[in-house]
Amino acid sequence: MNTTDTPLLDAARRLHDIRDRMAKAARLADRKPEDTRLIAVSKTFGPEAIEPLLQAGQRLFGENRVQEAQGKWPALREAYPDIELHLVGQLQSNKAEDAVALFDVIHSLDRSSLAQALAKVMAKLGRRPSCYVQVNIGQEEQKGGIAIEALPALLDEAQALGLPVVGLMCVPPAEREPAPYFALLSKLAKRHGLPRLSMGMSGDFETAITLGATEIRVGTALFGGR
């Protein structure tokens, strides 16, 4: 085998393996495999790790830092114009303009000041990335996401500002069984008439799919350890 083929074959194999596991989880829950989208979270990885996944057909990618994403995605997008870029990490209001300019979807709307900043820059740039409201589902201190009891007010505000909020996002507490948290996020989304659920990572995406995830965010299982 030509050694230059190896990264591509590895990427294709890992992608196939994840898609297979996604399909099994979907079947278990009587859902359609195509109703959950796979976001490849490429944070900390450079173009040499990302290219093989692009060549294997993956088009949805996630990053957690605006600056890091600005450094690597514009060039990759020239080669693959149909890339869809998702911001999955916390967003500072002073980076809102850069984020709206670069990303197609923002998963980390979690406070009023950010909602206001996003509305302002969306109007300015004429770009409207879909937004998920991130919920601090385990009520943890030091964790991103809006408190559950403050969610209705933030959703009302986002609606008044005309933000394109499509769903809810969460990262459950580490070291805990994630299923109850995914179930709770799903219930909150239903209560507010939101169709999409961004939940599930390398260690728990199958559980998330059985509980209704429409987007899973997978890093290490696709790229290896960081």
Binding site for ligand PLP (CB under 6 A): 41, 43, 64, 88-89, 171, 201-203, 217-221
Backbone φ/ψ region at 218: left (φ over 0), alpha (ψ -120 to 50), beta: beta
- We find the least distance from the C-beta atom of residue 93 to ligand PLP, in angstroms, to be 19
- We find the least distance from the C-beta atom of residue 144 to ligand PLP, in angstroms, to be 8
H or E, element range at 168: strand 165-169
CA pair distance 13, 58, nearest whole angstrom: 12
- We find the least distance from the C-beta atom of residue 22 to ligand PLP, in angstroms, to be 13
Tokens at 111, concatenated:
């406070």
- We find the least distance from the C-beta atom of residue 220 to ligand PLP, in angstroms, to be 4
Task: Indicate the residue among 105 and 171 with the shorter CB distance to ligand PLP.
Answer: 171
- We find the least distance from the C-beta atom of residue 2 to ligand PLP, in angstroms, to be 30
Task: Indicate the residue among 159 and 220 with the shorter CB distance to ligand PLP.
Answer: 220
Provide φ and ψ at 186, rounded to 5°. Answer: -60, -40
Q: Residues 12, 56: contact at Cβ < 8 Å?
A: yes
Task: Indicate the residue among 68 and 98 with the shorter CB distance to ligand PLP.
Answer: 68
How many helices, marked H, and strands, marked E, lie in the chain?
9, 8
Task: Indicate the residue among 180 and 203 with the shorter CB distance to ligand PLP.
Answer: 203
Residue given tokens 């169709």 in the structure block: 195
Q: Residues 60, 40: contact at Cβ < 8 Å?
A: yes
Task: Indicate the residue among 44 and 116 with the shorter CB distance to ligand PLP.
Answer: 44
